[in-house]
Amino acid sequence: MFDSQDEQIITKVNKEKAIVLTFDDGPSKLLPSILDILKEEAVPAVFFWQSRLLYPTRPWQRALDEGHQIGTHSTKHVNLAKLPKEKQYVDIKSSVEKIERIIGQKVTYFRPPFGQYNEATLEVLAELKLRPIFWRVAAMDWELKCDPQEIVTNVMDHLEDGAILLLHELKQTVEVLPSLIQAIKAREYSFSLLE
């Protein structure tokens, strides 16, 4: 569970019996498989992409066409809290500009790599009019590749109204995504996008 005392940090949406699925670290070669599952299950999601991985040939248009949202996850996933404000600004601004240039839509959401940020990061986000999106529930999918079913258990043990779920574009996540979605639906939760 992630909780922040900083009012700017968004970890939940104000919706009863709804959660937000988010995926970090793409767009990867696994994106088509994730999109297939989301389409099959009729579930929207939010993707936080590293701009260095957004090649024009990746299926970004399909993600938009199928109703998903796209935010930035920086240029190349460095710990921004270790950089001076000027370098943070350059990294975040260039990531936004590249994503917007390719997808042709405004980017308004940002998730910092490793969930690390400082006051300078928040100042940069305010200047660039970006909303910092964190998570309430981390699936821990990056640590559970040896036992992917634990990803489902971990999420279901912490599910709550309005929670933003942190997932990644990883093989083990794709493997359990259908059962995770079905388990969430079985608890009568719906799936929402960010406001």
Interval 161-187: pLDDT, tens: 999 999 999 999 999 999 999 999 999
Give the tens place of pLDDT for each residue, 108-154.
999 999 999 999 999 999 999 999 999 999 999 999 988 989 999 99
* Per-residue pLDDT at 193 exceeds 80: yes
Residue 2 — very low, low, confident or very high, per pLDDT cuts 50/70/90?
low
Give the pLDDT of residue 1: 58
Give the tens place of pLDDT for each residue, 60-107.
999 999 999 999 999 999 999 999 999 999 999 999 999 999 999 999
Domains parsed from the chain with CATH numbers: 18-191 (3.20.20.370)
**Measured between alpha carbons, how far is residue 56 from residues 34, 52, 53, 99, 128 in Å?**
18, 11, 9, 10, 24
Query: What are the backbone dihedrals phi and psi of residue 112, each rounded to the nearest 5 degrees, phi first?
Result: -70, 140
